[in-house]
Each structure stands twice: as structure tokens, then as C-alpha cells.
């Protein structure tokens, strides 16, 4: 087990109640994951595998927290998923934590991430082109070509901006502005892009 002297110092400087909690959690991580490396991230002790965060712990004034990356919060109080740990007795059973640590490490080793795989949402459906916007684009071939060359998300931004207008005057202004910007080759939110 290779330890980081910064974590030794973190534990030594923690409140008296916190030292046994942090020491126990540290030992538990190393017994479950002998390949884990120690580091300090966000001013807190962390354990990594293949350079990716697996778990972290922290000491506060009246409690400690333990986080296994990629695990949900499950409505717990405090920073970690395991509630506010005020004594060694508050630490969840070793078998439970070991299983979660091994699962987080398996995710890292299989897909390079400690987080659970997120399901990809279905692509957004294309918003139908309003007739008045299509007519304005037909009168400006450069604007129409620019819009057609954009990715679906950028086309959707323009169409959505036009269709969300509540008043006819607002809609007409937005169509005119869209045609002008598109003729200049600008995306809908061009003002916010980095130069």
C-alpha cells in the first residue's frame, strides 16, 4: 500500500473524533483496492485507479463524509452518499462499501469512467419549418444555404426562436433578424461564442 504523506497530514490535522473514521475508511479502500493510489483533490483525500477518481473522504467540524464516485446521492444528508459519519459506528458495513468500491473500479477499467453509464436520449425531433420563415429564406439564398449547412441543433435554435414568439410583430422581427444573421453566416447564439 503506497500512501501519500499529504493524507497522513490531513488525518493528523483532523478533529479528534474524525481521525479514527478517516483511518478506517482509508484502510478499507486499500484492502478492497490494493491498486488504488492516494492523492488530494478539491482539498480532500481521494483514491484513484488508472488516474480516475474512485472515492474521496473529508472531515468537517462535526462529521466526516465518504463518497464513492459514480454512486447516486440516494437522498442522504451531507456531502457523501453515506450520510454524516460522526463515529466509526456510523460507517456502513465493510462488505457494502467494498462491493461499491469494486463496482466503481470495474466501471473505470471497462469504460474509463467511474460514473455509471448514462443512457443516451433519443435525438430531438426536427421542428417543422414555419411557412413565413421558409418564405423569407427563399428570398435570400445565402441565408437559406447557411441554415441548411448547419447541424440539426443549430437549425433547431433558429426555428424554435421564431416559433416561440407569441405576437405576430415579434415573430416578424425574429424572422427578419434570423435572415440577416444567417446571410452573415452566424449561428443563432453567435454573440456568446468565443472568438
Same domain, 94 and 152: no
**Shared domain check, 100 and 31:** yes
For residue 125, is it within any domain?
Answer: no
- Please indicate, yes or no, if residue 116 is contained in any of the structural domains: no
Residues 29 and 102 in one domain: yes
Residue 39: is it exposed, middle or buried by C-beta count within 10 angstroms (0-12/13-18/19+)?
A: middle
Cα–Cα distance measured from residue 44 to residue 84, given in angstroms and rounded to the nearest whole number: 16
**155 shares a domain with 73:** no
pLDDT of residue 50: 87
Phi and psi angles of residue 186, each rounded to the nearest 5 degrees, phi first: -95, 140
Assess whether 23 and 80 both reside in one domain: yes
The residue that leads in pLDDT, 115 or 72, is: 72
All three cell numbers of 30, joined, read 486499500
SS (H, E, C) 47-98: EEECCEEEEEEEECCCCEEEEECCCCCCCCCCCCCCCCECCHHHCCCHHHHH
Domain CATH code at residue 55: 3.90.1150.200
What pLDDT is recorded for position 75?
47
Q: What is the Cα–Cα distance from 117 to 140, expressed in whole angstroms? A: 45
Same domain as 164, residue 81: no
- Backbone φ, ψ for residue 45 (5° rounding): -65, 135
Cα separation, 138 vs 132, in Å, equals 10
Residue 127: name the closest of 176, 160, 153 by CA: 160
105 and 118 Cβ atoms separated by less than 8 Å: no
Q: Which residue has the cell 447557411?
A: 146
The answer to whether residue 161 sits within a structural domain is yes
Q: Which of 45-59, 86-100, 109-123 has the lowest mean pLDDT?
A: 109-123
| Choice between 78 and 87, residue whose per-residue pLDDT is larger | 87
Mapped onto helix, strand or coil, the DSSP state of residue 139 is coil
Query: Is residue 117 over pLDDT 50?
Result: no
135 and 100 part of one domain? no
* End-to-end C-alpha distance for the chain, whole angstroms: 48
* pLDDT at residue 124 is higher than 90: no
pLDDT at 159: 93
Angstrom distance (rounded) from CA 24 to CA 7: 13
Of 14-23, 66-75, 119-128, 184-193, which has the strongest mean pLDDT? 14-23
What confidence category does residue 191 fall into, taking pLDDT thresholds of 50, 70 and 90? confident
Lowest mean pLDDT of 66-75, 85-94, 98-107, name the range: 66-75
Do 94 and 186 have their domain in common?
no
Mean pLDDT for 64-76 is 74
Specify whether the CB–CB gap between 146 and 137 falls below 8 A: no
The reply to whether 107 and 136 lie within a common domain is: no
Q: Number of folded domains in the chain?
A: 2
pLDDT surpasses 60 at 51: yes
What gap in Å lies between CA 113 and CA 19, rounded to an integer?
30
Predicted local confidence at residue 195, as pLDDT: 53
28 within some domain: yes
Has this prediction a pTM greater than 0.75? no
Q: What is the pLDDT of residue 122?
A: 67
Answer yes or no: do 107 and 171 share one domain: no
What contacts 12, CB < 8 A, 6 or more positions away?
Answer: 19
What's the rounded mean pLDDT across residues 103-125?
68
Domain that holds residue 138: 131-192
Amino acid at each position: 500500500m503506497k500512501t501519500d504523506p499529504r493524507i497522513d497530514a490531513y488525518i493528523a490535522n483532523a478533529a479528534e473524533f474524525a481521525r479514527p473514521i478517516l483511518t478506517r475508511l482509508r484502510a478499507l479502500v486499500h484492502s478492497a483496492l490494493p491498486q488504488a493510489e492516494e492523492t488530494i483533490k478539491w482539498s480532500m483525500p481521494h483514491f484513484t485507479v488508472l488516474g480516475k477518481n474512485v472515492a474521496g473522504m473529508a472531515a468537517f467540524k462535526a462529521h466526516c463524509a465518504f463518497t464513492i464516485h459514480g454512486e447516486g446521492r440516494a437522498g442522504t444528508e451531507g456531502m457523501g452518499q453515506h450520510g454524516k459519519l460522526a463515529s466509526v459506528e456510523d460507517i456502513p458495513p465493510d462488505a457494502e462499501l467494498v462491493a461499491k468500491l469494486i463496482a466503481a473500479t470495474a466501471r473505470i477499467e471497462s469504460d474509463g469512467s467511474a460514473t455509471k453509464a448514462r443512457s443516451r436520449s433519443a435525438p430531438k425531433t426536427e421542428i417543422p419549418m414555419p411557412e413565413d420563415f421558409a418564405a423569407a429564406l427563399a428570398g435570400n439564398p445565402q441565408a437559406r444555404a447557411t441554415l441548411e449547412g448547419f447541424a440539426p441543433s443549430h437549425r433547431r435554435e433558429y426555428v424554435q426562436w421564431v416559433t416561440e414568439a407569441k405576437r405576430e410583430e415579434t415573430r416578424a422581427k425574429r424572422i427578419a433578424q434570423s435572415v440577416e444573421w444567417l446571410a452573415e453566416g452566424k449561428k443563432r447564439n453567435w454573440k456568446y461564442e468565443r472568438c
